[in-house]
Amino acid sequence: MGRIKNICCIGAGYVGGPTMSVIAQKCPNIRVVVVDSNEARIAAWNQEDLSQLPIYEPGLEQVVAEARGRNLFFSKEVNQAILDADMIFISVNTPTKTYGEGKGMAADLKWVEACARQIADVATSPKIVVEKSTLPVRTAQAIKDILQNSPSKVSFQVLSNPEFLAEGTAVQDLLNPDRVLIGGDQDPEGQAAIQALVEIYQAWVPMEKILTTNVWSSELSKLTANAFLAQRVSSINSVSELCEVTGADIEEVAKAIGTDSRIGPKFLKASVGFGGSCFQKDILNLVYICRSFQLHEVADYWEQVVKINAHQRERFAKKIIKSLYYTVNGKTIAFLGWAFKKDTNDTRESPAIYVADALLDERALLAVYDPKVAEEKIYRDLDFLENRSSEDNKRLVQVAESAYEACKDASAVAVLTEWEEFNSLDWERIYSSMQKPALLFDGRNLLNKQALEKIGFIVHAIGKSSP
């Protein structure tokens, strides 16, 4: 196959949207069509007003503004885009299975399989199919098996090209990646397919950052890279609990650990726990794969990363309940932040949801403010838990328009997301509008503890001894 002229990406989500926008921006001679079965999502990508794109990512509006309508298109015509493309990225969701074999652990591959079947049914010319979704090692074999049964008998190559972007920094991560990983077959056809994808990335990524491997190494590297990152967060969070009972300060300890050049300073920020759509599901998937190969010790090792994360969220909620004398019933707790991290409107697996659930079990009232998360999304997240009726969620949880509104008359404030704007709030004003004693639980170690204590707050921060 020669140079790629037409790309199709199935899945216009947090990965498909930004990734294809950057490819289109950097490769103006390639036509990039992003398709999705969710028509509302496609309509949102096509909106005139770029501030209304379906996902919020710093810098994304500018990239879309440059490429959309030139060589970047968002469409609901999936079959047409498959027919036209030389290369098809599969960038659909792969959440944890909620039913049947592997329930609660394995990745649900039904959307990936649906894509492979649709490509097999529709394609009438050779295609390179690229796994962009995060997939269990050896999924490429299943995709190949399906494609080989294509009625048109055209040839397919399957590559693995996992995505390493983090939300909130997606555009920067795509423009300047630490590495691009491409796995393919080791025969001449496989190598030619790898080369076709390498040439796309070479438009802006230096060659030494483009790693090529066999398919299985690439699939497994993605799962295990996420496991390593999450393991650092759980490691520092486990130390934070020890700090709280010994008088050590987690930020001092993290700095002392991270200045060892063999360890490095990143991903050592203690928090209420990691969230996001991937860390937990990818580790659970890794654990499931290990168990399926009877590697029980390896499985147990990684599973502990997820257990510590759940423990960290639970103990944060318990601390709030305990500090309010175990009588949270009817008291208002302000939540600053609902997104799983700053600079995104994504709330999947956000620790805020779990902390809210524990407090609502105690019949607390919540007042939530997040600068980028829409009110409907907050209620949808709570309804999804199925622990309370939708009416109860509406009655117990108010969504505020500002941090000041959320905190007014509250007994406690909990910082759940590290949005920068919380640092520049008028905390004296907030203090004077709250019930006394005014408690503050900093789940991100975002705020200046001493300054808040001077105002009069009783501050509980992660990994710091409590008053």
Q: Which of 91, 134, 161, 240 touches ligand UGA (CB under 6 A)?
A: 134
| Residue at shortest CB range from ligand NAD | 13
Compute CA distances 225 → 214, 219, 261, whole Å.
17, 10, 19
395 in helix, strand or coil? helix
Beta carbons of 301 and 234 less than 8 angstroms apart? no
Active site residue 163: yes
Q: Which two tokens stand for residue 361?
A: 């079990």
Q: Which of 267, 301, 379, 404 touches ligand UGA (CB under 6 A)?
A: 267
- Residue placing its CB nearer to ligand NAD in the complex, 11 or 337: 11
Name the amino acid, one letter, at 230: A
Q: Which of 24, 49, 306, 297 is nearest to 174 (CA)?
A: 24
Counts of helices then strands in the chain (DSSP H, E)? 18, 14
Active site residue 97: no
Q: Which two tokens stand for residue 91?
A: 């960038």
- Residue placing its CB nearer to ligand NAD in the complex, 171 or 278: 278
Residue 388 CB neighbours (<10 A):
17
CA-based radius of gyration for the chain: 24
Of the candidate spans 5-13, 39-47, 276-284, 424-432, the one that interacts with ligand UGA by CB under 6 A turns out to be 276-284
- Residue placing its CB nearer to ligand NAD in the complex, 42 or 270: 42
Closest contact distance (angstroms) between CB of 6 and ligand NAD is 17
Contact between 132 and ligand UGA per CB under 6 A = no
Q: Which of 222, 341, 372, 464 is catalytic?
A: 222
Pick from ligand UGA, ligand NAD, none: which does 93 bind, CB < 5 to 8 A by kind?
ligand NAD
Active site residue 341: no
**With helix as H, strand as E and coil as C, how does 332-391 read?**
EEEEECCCCCCCCCCCCCCHHHHHHHHHHHCCCEEEEECCCCCHHHHHHHHHHHCCCCHH
Question: How far apart, in whole angstroms, are the C-alpha atoms of residue 467 and residue 464?
Answer: 9
Residue numbers at the binding site for ligand NAD (CB under 6 A): 10-16, 36-38, 41, 78, 91-94, 111, 114-115, 133-134, 163, 165, 167, 277-278
Contact between 164 and ligand UGA per CB under 6 A = yes
Contact between 271 and ligand UGA per CB under 6 A = yes
Site for ligand UGA in 224-253 (CB under 6 A): 226, 229, 233
Q: Which two tokens stand for residue 216?
A: 């299985």
Q: Which of 163, 244, 349, 418 is catalytic?
A: 163
Question: How far apart, in whole angstroms, are the C-alpha atoms of residue 112 and residue 91?
Answer: 8
Beta carbons of 118 and 78 less than 8 angstroms apart? yes
Contact between 442 and ligand UGA per CB under 6 A = no
Q: Which of 275, 371, 443, 463 touches ligand UGA (CB under 6 A)?
A: 275
Pick from ligand UGA, ligand NAD, none: which does 11 bind, CB < 5 to 8 A by kind?
ligand NAD
Total residues found in the chain within this entry: 467
- Residue placing its CB nearer to ligand NAD in the complex, 78 or 87: 78
Q: What value, to the nearest 5°, has the Cα angle with vertex 274 and ends 271 and 275?
A: 130
Pick from ligand NAD, ligand UGA, none: which does 267 bind, CB < 5 to 8 A by kind?
ligand UGA
Catalytic amino acids? Answer: 163, 222, 278
Given the rule CB under 6 A, which residues bind ligand UGA?
134, 163-167, 226, 229, 233, 267-269, 271, 274-276, 278-279, 340-341
